[in-house]
Structure formats: structure tokens, C-alpha cells
């Protein structure tokens, strides 16, 4: 509901800014009025697609200003610039039209900033402490554990809320079975999806207890933070601390993208997807007609996959097989000369044109242009326990193409070795991802990655 309200507020600001600009700018003639209306509609549609990628969750007024300047402002200017280029293609620009666009852009900046800062101020004044906090579980023992819990419960740090505490005694560090029993409740909490982080507030000497905790949580996507008690060593508590508690912490989970990198990637993804869908719309229609003529059944094939943080979504593809009943819980991958594949479908799969509808998933925010390819749920169940780091692929949005795909890991994964190789490339991308790397992957996919002997 909040996301819908935010989008409506953005649209209202943009439309109101256009109306104000029409009264402030030079007088318009009758010929440009329909063009202005068309331009407004296009900008509203583009903004609806791009603005959700611009997340402003500021914790202070200064941070709110910084995030507006680095997120909302570039997105709004990009939308207006893209609209201006579109006008250059379809109509000759006159001075009055350019002045109107300039006024609209400037007024739009003011209104978009005003409502966001007003919403932030209102939310900060009426929001109860901890309403938007991240649920955490603290695992530890002794006075150090109680100090951390007391710090969070003091209300000084709004970003965290202690959902539960698991206390491990020194004797338990030797008796592993006792620790496992105590951690079983923790595992149930994490699997329920309500826990964002687990903090291990243990002494540096508690190697066995730490190992048991990591073993219990290794098959989940929860963030694990080690907060060792360094006070007995005489170390300063501010060294290497996280922002919230000023306590030294070590993240034992592979780091995902920063907020800034994630926002930039989402803006690029949605803009690219929008342009691609518009440019490929004639091909989109032609393929849909060919599929309907080739065999009875729907145009699209939908299948449940896991996305960011392991959340499921429906992936879209052009249907390439004849409609058939698949045994529940059993996945039969397409093989070479598979009789289920239609003639049109074989061409679509060889050229990767069956993947075009996934630009819709990107526009919806479920996928990225570049990222690990999402696997069937059956593959997740099969290979997750067998391949180290398999679940870490879901710390970033799945992609239409990826580092593994341009390095030869496409098509059928009929064995553990092939899947392990694909996961290794996916984890390399997660560790080394950059905007230039994304562009490189996109270019290699466009130039040489569409047609492959591995796709059938």
C-alpha cells in the first residue's frame, strides 16, 4: 500500500509540475497542445517504471538530502532527457516547447523534493521507536550479552529490535549437543522469515559455540554478524564497528551490493527494460502470433523461481514446448532433440528469443538485466545442500544474462559438475560486480551470446 501511495504521489507531483509550467512558460499554440499531452503521458509512464527503483529510506535530514541528490534527481533528469530525445525524433522542437520542458523539469525537482522531505519529517515525528527496525537474534553469554541487549532495548538505536536471545553457557561450548538443542529454536525463527540478522556476541575463545551457530545457519540467507567480546584484550570498542552500536563486528556472510550500487543498478535495469520492450514490441507481437499458430496453448510459459533473498516469483518466457503435464516435484529439462519442443520453440531457444518476456520481470523489479540465472525450484532443492555457496546466489537479483552464461554455462545442467561450475562463476560476479562489468556482459551477450549450441 505504501509503495502504491508513493507512486501516486510521484505522478501527482509530476502532473502538477507540468500544469504549473504551462501557466508560467510562453503561450502555447493549438498545434503543440496534443504533443504536450502525449509528452506528459509518456513521462508519467516512464516515471512509474523508474521511480520505484529510487528508494529514499533516510535516517536523518542530511542523509535524506544526499539520497535525493544521488537517486531521485538523476532518475527524474534521465526521464526528462529520454523524453526530450523522443520528441526530437517525432517533432521539431520550438522555443516555447523547450521553455515549457525546462520549467517542468525545474518545478518537478522542487515538488518531488518537497513531498519526500515532508513525508520523511512526518514519519520521523509520528513513527514509534522501532516500527521499521530490523529483527535480530542475539546469541552469546554473560555480561557482554546483556550489555548488547540493553543497548538495543534502550531505544537509542531505532534500526534494530531484539526478537529473541539465545544464551550459551561456557559448559555448552564443550557439550555440542546442548548447543544444538538451544539453537534449534533459533533455526525455526530464521526459517519463519521474520529475522533479518543473527549477532554472535561470544568470547573470542568460544570457537566451538561459534562453529555450531554457523553450522546451524549456513543453509539460510540470514545475515550473520560476529561481535566478539574484545574488552578483555584491552581493544577500543570503536574499531571496525558497524554504524548502529559502535561495537566491533565481523560479517560472516558474503556482502551484497551497497544501497548506492543497488539503486544505480535498478535504475539502469528498469530504463534498459523499458527501452528494450518498446524497441522489441513488433518482434514481441510476431513471436506471439507464431507461437499461437505453431501449437495450441498460451503464448507465455510461467514458472516459479527464487529471486533476491530467496523470495519466489513467476518468471516469464515465450512458450517453446507443446502443452504437457509435468509430474509434481520432478523437473525434466529440455534435452537435445526433445520431442516436446515445437519448431518455433526450437528457434526461439537457440536464439534466446524465448527470454524476451523477462524484461517484464525486470520492469516489475523481480529480476535484473545482469545477474545469476534463476534456477527451477527443484534444482534449488537438489543442489543447495551439495554445492558450497549455492544459496549466496540469491543475495543479488537474478538476471536475464550473467557472467556464467557468457563463459559457456548455458542450457542444460545435467550433472553436479556443470552446476558447480555455473555457481562458481555466479559467485565470482557477486564478489567483483561493477557497472563496467555489467556493460561488458550485456555487450558480449548481444554480440555473441544469443545463439549457442548449448541452448536447445
226-262 pLDDT, tens digit per residue, is: 888 766 665 544 444 455 566 666 666 666 666 666 7
User: What is the pLDDT, as a whole number, of residue 123?
Assistant: 59
Local confidence band at 82 (pLDDT 50, 70, 90 cut-offs): confident
Q: Would you say residue 71 has pLDDT above 50?
A: yes
User: What is the pLDDT, as a whole number, of residue 456?
Assistant: 47
* pLDDT > 70 in the chain, percent: 71
Q: Highest-confidence range of 295-304, 329-338, 414-423, by mean pLDDT?
A: 295-304
User: What is the pLDDT, as a whole number, of residue 286?
Assistant: 92
In angstroms, the CA 368 to CA 309 distance is 14
The 10s digit of each residue's pLDDT in 253-299 is 666 666 666 777 888 888 888 888 888 888 999 999 999 888 888 89
Cβ atoms 185, 166 nearer than 8 A = yes
Q: How many CB atoms lie within 10 A of CB 24?
A: 13
Q: Which residue has the higher pLDDT, 251 or 34?
A: 34
In angstroms, the CA 23 to CA 104 distance is 11
User: What is the pLDDT, as a whole number, of residue 425?
Assistant: 92
Q: Specify the range with the lowest mean pLDDT, choosing from 338-342, 353-357, 378-382, 450-454.
A: 450-454
Q: Would you say residue 44 has pLDDT above 50?
A: yes
In angstroms, the CA 324 to CA 167 distance is 53
* pLDDT > 90 in the chain, percent: 10
Q: Is the domain defined by 134-251 classed in CATH 3.40.50?
A: yes
Strands of 176-322 (E only): list them: 197-201, 223-226, 250-251, 300-306, 312-318
Residues belonging to the chain? 456
Per DSSP, helices labelled H in 310-387 are: 343-351, 358-363, 377-383
The 10s digit of each residue's pLDDT in 389-411 is 888 888 899 999 999 988 888 76
> What pTM was estimated for this model as a whole?
0.57
In angstroms, the CA 39 to CA 320 distance is 38
Q: Would you say residue 358 has pLDDT above 90?
A: yes
Local confidence band at 72 (pLDDT 50, 70, 90 cut-offs): confident
In angstroms, the CA 352 to CA 391 distance is 26
Q: Would you say residue 58 has pLDDT above 50?
A: no
User: What is the pLDDT, as a whole number, of residue 398?
Assistant: 94
The 10s digit of each residue's pLDDT in 199-221 is 988 887 777 788 888 888 887 88
User: What is the pLDDT, as a whole number, of residue 336?
Assistant: 59
The 10s digit of each residue's pLDDT in 107-164 is 888 888 887 777 766 655 544 444 567 888 898 888 888 888 888 887 767 778 888 8
Cβ atoms 310, 391 nearer than 8 A = yes
Residue extents of the structural domains in the chain: 2-126, 134-251, 259-449
Q: Would you say residue 331 has pLDDT above 90?
A: no
How confident is the model over 43-68, as a mean pLDDT?
58
Local confidence band at 37 (pLDDT 50, 70, 90 cut-offs): confident
Mean pLDDT taken over the chain: 77
Which residues fall within 8 angstroms of residue 220, CB to CB, at 6 or more apart?
187, 190, 191, 391
How confident is the model over 185-191, as a mean pLDDT?
78
Local confidence band at 362 (pLDDT 50, 70, 90 cut-offs): very high
Amino acid at each position: 500500500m505504501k509503495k502504491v501511495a508513493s507512486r501516486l504521489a510521484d505522478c501527482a507531483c509530476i502532473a502538477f509540475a507540468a500544469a504549473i509550467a504551462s501557466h508560467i512558460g510562453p503561450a502555447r499554440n493549438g498545434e503543440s497542445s496534443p504533443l504536450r499531452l502525449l509528452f506528459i503521458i509518456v513521462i508519467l509512464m516512464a516515471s512509474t517504471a523508474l521511480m520505484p527503483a529510487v528508494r529514499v529510506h533516510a535516517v536523518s535530514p542530511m542523509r535524506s538530502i544526499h539520497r535525493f541528490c544521488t537517486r531521485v534527481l538523476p532518475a527524474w533528469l534521465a526521464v526528462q532527457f529520454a523524453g526530450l530525445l523522443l520528441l526530437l525524433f517525432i517533432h521539431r522542437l520550438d522555443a516555447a516547447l523547450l521553455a515549457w520542458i525546462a520549467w517542468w523539469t525545474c518545478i518537478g525537482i522542487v515538488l518531488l523534493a518537497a513531498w519526500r522531505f515532508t513525508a520523511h519529517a512526518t514519519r520521523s515525528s509520528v513513527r514509534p521507536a522501532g516500527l521499521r527496525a530490523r529483527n535480530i537474534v542475539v546469541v552469546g553469554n554473560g555480561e557482554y550479552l546483556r550489555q548488547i541487549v540493553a543497548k538495543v532495548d534502550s531505544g537509542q538505536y531505532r534500526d534494530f529490535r531484539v526478537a529473541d536471545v539465545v544464551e550459551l553457557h561456557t559448559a555448552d561450548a564443550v557439550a555440542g549437543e546442548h548447543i544444538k538443542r538451544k539453537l534449534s529454536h533459533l533455526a525455526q525463527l530464521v526459517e519463519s522469515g521474520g529475522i533479518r540478522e543473527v549477532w554472535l556476541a561470544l568470547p573470542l575463545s568460544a570457537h566451538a559455540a561459534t562453529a555450531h551457530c554457523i553450522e546451524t545457519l549456513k543453509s539460510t540467507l540470514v545475515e550473520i554478524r560476529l561481535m566478539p567480546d574484545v574488552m578483555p584484550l584491552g581493544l577500543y570498542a570503536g574499531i571496525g564497528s558497524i554504524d548502529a552500536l559502535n561495537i566491533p563486528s565481523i560479517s560472516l556472510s558474503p556482502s551484497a551490493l551497497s544501497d548506492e550500487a543497488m539503486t544505480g543498478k535498478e535504475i539502469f535495469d528498469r530504463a534498459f527494460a523499458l527501452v528494450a520492450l518498446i524497441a522489441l514490441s513488433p518482434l514481441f507481437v510476431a513471436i506471439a502470433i507464431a507461437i499461437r499458430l505453431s501449437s495450441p496453448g498460451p503464448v507465455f510459459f510461467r514458472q516459479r523461481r527464487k529471486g533476491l533473498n530467496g523470495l519466489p516469483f513467476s518468471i516469464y518466457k515465450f512458450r517453446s514446448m507443446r502443452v504437457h503435464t509435468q509430474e509434481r516435484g520432478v523437473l525434466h529439462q529440455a534435452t537435445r532433440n526433445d520431442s516436446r519442443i515445437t519448431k518455433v520453440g526450437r528457434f526461439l531457444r537457440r536464439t534466446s528469443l524465448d527470454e524476451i518476456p523477462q524484461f517484464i520481470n525486470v520492469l516489475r523489479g523481480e529480476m535484473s538485466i545482469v545477474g545469476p540465472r534463476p534456477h527451477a525450484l527443484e534444482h534449488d532443492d537438489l543442489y543447495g545442500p551439495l554445492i558450497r555457496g549455492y544459496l549466496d546466489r540469491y543475495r543479488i537479483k537474478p538476471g536475464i544474462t550473467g557472467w556464467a552464461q557468457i563463459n559457456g554455462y548455458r542450457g542444460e545442467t545435467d550433472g553436479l559438475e556443470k552446476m558447480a561450475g555455473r555457481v562458481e562463476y555466479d559467485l565470482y560476479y557477486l564478489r567483483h560486480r561493477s557497472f563496467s562489468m555489467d556493460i561488458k556482459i550485456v555487450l558480449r551477450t548481444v554480440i555473441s551470446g544469443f545463439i549457442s549450441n548449448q541452448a536447445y
